[in-house]
């Protein structure tokens, strides 16, 4: 099989993407750590729960929404639980599942953190783009995300993080 090397333009685009993602994620983490005492992932969990009906989501649905593995989500939710920001409950209709619920304290923390976070997102990304570029960005990343996930009915567990199983540990 012949390797399809990147063209010079593709290589520049790829490197610009990688650099930008790293810089944006670092800046968001620093801003949220300084202003809210939490990493970006924890903020994203609180924000996702705040948008869900009754501020509750099944853990597997939350992992899918955040595009992370279930084990990474479990670790993060356990930390948020210890801080009283999230509560976990057994799922009544699926004994294997559990539900994450945003507590009132978690909502207050999110409401305090949101203005600074939104301002940082705006300054890092949207203030640098024209409205046309924002539309292009949405179109590009929607295509990338949909292509990566493929037909979810036929996707293998390795295709998307929230379906991956943790490797079994030796006991």
Indicate the class that CATH gives domain 20-135: mainly alpha
Q: What's the burial of 93, exposed, middle or buried (CB within 10 Å: 0-12/13-18/19+)? A: exposed
**Residue 162 scores a pLDDT above 80:** no
Alpha helices in 52-130 (DSSP H): 59-66, 70-82, 104-124
Q: Name residues whose C-beta falls within 8 Å of residue 155's C-beta, 6 or more positions apart in sequence.
A: 149, 163
Distance from C-alpha of 1 to C-alpha of 89, rounded to nearest angstrom: 50
- Of residues 71, 88, 84, 70, the one with CA closest to residue 38: 84
Spatial separation of the C-alpha atoms in residues 130 and 138, rounded to whole Å = 13
Mean predicted confidence (pLDDT) in 76-93 = 91
The predicted pLDDT at position 171 comes to 23
| pTM across the whole model | 0.84
Residue 85: CB atoms within 10 A of its CB come to 23
Instruction: Compute the average pLDDT of residues 33-61.
Output: 96
Domain boundaries, the chain: 20-135
């Amino acid at each position: 099989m012949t390797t399809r090397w990147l063209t010079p333009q593709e290589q520049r685009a790829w490197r610009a993407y990688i650099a930008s993602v790293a810089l944006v994620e670092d800046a968001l983490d620093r801003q949220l750590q300084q202003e809210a005492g939490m990493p970006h992932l924890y903020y994203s969990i609180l924000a996702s729960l705040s948008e869900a009906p009754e501020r509750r989501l099944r853990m597997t649905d939350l992992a899918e929404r955040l595009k992370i593995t279930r084990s990474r989500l479990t670790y993060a939710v356990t930390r948020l639980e210890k801080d009283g920001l999230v509560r976990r409950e057994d799922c009544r209709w699926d004994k294997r599942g559990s539900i994450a619920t945003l507590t009132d304290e978690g909502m207050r923390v999110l409401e305090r953190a949101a203005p600074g976070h939104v301002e940082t997102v705006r300054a890092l990304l949207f203030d640098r783009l024209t409205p046309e570029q924002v539309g292009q960005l949405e179109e590009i990343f929607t295509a990338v995300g949909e292509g990566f996930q493929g037909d979810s009915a036929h996707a293998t567990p390795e295709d998307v993080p929230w379906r991956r199983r943790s490797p079994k540990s030796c006991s």
